[in-house]
Structure 1
């Protein structure tokens, strides 16, 4: 996968050179290039923003530097890829979107700053993405988050392709509790079923615990989850067990 990012602060993307994402770059699974679109300004003061027509607070990013930077990416890569604008008004990012983007060969992110974008910049864009109902000082942290969530889904990125299969949101449920050694730590013990070696019972326990955690923490997810008859019985058991504790 090729990933291009347009940003006024390319040094902010240094963390992507570390940990798992950094390893995917070292392996050649990802080619990441961050372009400072200030380099493409044509005015003598290297300005990338200007006052808003019709009045308004703040400064808007001008179209010219971003259009020219995008032309340079297209000339170098042969295409612009799927262009993503990080914007608070965009569609809220989720795991399904990460899985969708992970299928692409080329992604280009526009990470803006200041008050916002000249509306004509949106004509370059395929997707507008937001992390949630809040505003950051710029699109860099949002772009890094989307890149991280997407790249880790690439084949061989995690070392074991099964690692991402049962994660929270990938199955539609939150992930079940997990444990490692020792089996007894300060009186806190690992559930017996996980020590039993009985794979069918372990799988059933994991699924029930995933349902339970989702019911307790994110019941909204269950409204979209295709509950089977078995799931409905398990949920009834979970609710009965919780009411007994109360």
Structure 2
């Protein structure tokens, strides 16, 4: 049994969860995981898996609690989560003087600044189309040029299907906190309810004085969200697969 597998088993038993119950928790986050997958991880038959951050999340521990070899500071993943960039979206942004006015164009993996990384947070679904983010990053990815000078840029790992087929479960998207979006841009909207940060993501259809009209794809529907409640948003500027 590997160190990771042994730690998963110890924490699971401490929480009085069966392998099937843990698999169900992970499945709610990712859409995929079986009891046999958990058994294989615990027995050391799977040493590197993209599910491990979600296993840690389902056990309510940090990733380095499962694998102490990751070490402190930035999570240097041994589970091959670092993805290859495949697409950047069209811009059509209105940017004022205080915003980042760098050009928005296609880039390749070679255009990354290899010495800088940005955090990626996990997502946990709430009711309807809303979700919350993990308190700490589940991994770090290399910074693309489109956010070279944006220190507050971050990523999230998609765990629901309401924006498919644009984003799928497991995709990592990069968000820019200061880009002003136009119609057709995909945005992450934020509200704070009793100190809980709640998010929803959709295509911006209309931007009115008092509300945004956004669109979900799976199932297809529109939603009006009040700007007084949803006070901030972040614009999607890149996607990893």
Do the structures match in fold with TM over 0.5? no
Tell me the TM-score normalised to structure 1 length: 0.26
Tell me the TM-score normalised to structure 2 length: 0.26
* Larger fraction in strand: 2
